[in-house]
Amino acid sequence: MTVLVFLDPAFPAGRLVDAGTPALLATDQGVTRGDGIFESLLAVNGEPRKVAAHLARLADSADTMDLLIPEDGTWLAAMTTAVTAFLAAEPPAADEFGNTNVVLKLIVTRGPEGSNKPTAWVQATGLSPALAEQRANGLEVILLDRGYDTTVSQRAPWLLLGAKTLSYAVNMAALRHAQKQGADDVIFTSSDGKVLEGPTSSVLLAHITDDDGAPVKRLITPNLDSGILPGTTQGALFAAASEAGWELGYGPVEPADLLDADAVWLISSLRLLAPVNRIDGQEIGTAETRARLSAELGALLATTL
């Protein structure tokens, strides 16, 4: 089930279209060149969540790409129309937290070639059961070289490394490569040996003891100036964890830091907090520690949903 709502000045609440009929011109540059941006978020119990953070990141991506996008109020109206239509057609079952979830994707392309008129729409779909399985069972992950060093985004901003663009072919190729190796997902590293992000997620690691064996509660994520996408869910979790007494840190993170951690997760708006069981075949922490910390941090994250 897919609901599409196009942002159209003639329709203040958005223009609902049949997802089974053609709705996009074949000359649209989002199709021909991947020239566009997007955001994915959850509507929980009918309410889109972390909207301000996602719209702010969409605006940042648009600025990076010199792309004109609709105002926030127009997006909000279209999201409401999309969620309402989806829930009326296909009410989702509750998840492990007792919530119903609808996946919202906000998409803007540069529009048809020669028109200088962007195309924008909201897509509403159900949440894949595979994401809940990954949260429950964890992930097998491999490290892959992204081919850039951590300073390239400052030297070459036209690479758009900090923007959430439609050009995800490389990310999807990385996931297919991982699956051919028997893994579930990927953590990208830079050519100068730093941990970056996953193809569709942020990376998070935890320590519950320091170098002397004393107990700590510390969360670390790679620093954001290394050409990675700022994670809205990682940011929400950091805010909740700080209030709960966790120490917070931003990299630089190296592969050895991941292998030495008590737990590692891939975190995103749709998958939420998925523990990493093994990286390149090496177990991260213990199953008991991963499960305990995932439950603790998952409960904190649930308060932000």
**Per-residue pLDDT tens for 80-116?**
999 999 999 988 888 777 889 999 999 999 999 988 8
- Tell the residue number behind the tokens 């989002």, with chain if given: 30
Q: Which two tokens stand for residue 99?
A: 């919530």
The β-bridge relationship of strands 36-44 and 272-279 is: unpaired
The helix (run of H) or strand (run of E) holding residue 72 is: helix 72-89
Tell me, yes or no, whether 118 and 140 share the same domain: no
Q: Is 290 a residue whose pLDDT tops 80? A: yes
Tell me, yes or no, whether 275 and 154 share the same domain: yes
Tell me, yes or no, whether 164 and 216 share the same domain: yes
pLDDT tens for residues 163-209?
899 999 999 999 999 999 999 999 999 999 999 999 999 999 999 98
Q: How far apart are the first and last CA of the chain?
A: 23
Residue where one domain finishes, among candidates 98, 127, 156: 127
39 lies in which domain range?
Answer: 2-127
Q: Is 46 a residue whose pLDDT tops 90? A: yes
Tell me, yes or no, whether 98 and 137 share the same domain: no
Residues 176 and 50: beta-carbon distance below 8 Å: no
Tally of domains in the chain: 2
Tell me, yes or no, whether 119 and 140 share the same domain: no
Tell me, yes or no, whether 123 and 150 share the same domain: no
Tell me, yes or no, whether 246 and 260 share the same domain: yes
pLDDT tens for residues 162-174?
889 999 999 999 9
Q: CB-hemisphere CA count at 13 Å for 218? A: 15
Tell me, yes or no, whether 92 and 226 share the same domain: no
pLDDT attached to residue 115: 87
Residues 78 and 5: beta-carbon distance below 8 Å: yes
| Mean pLDDT, rounded, for 237-263 | 95
Dihedral pair phi/psi, residue 18, rounded to 5°: -75, 120
Q: Which two tokens stand for residue 193?
A: 């040996």
Tell me, yes or no, whether 282 and 207 share the same domain: yes
Q: What is the largest CA-CA distance in the chain?
A: 65
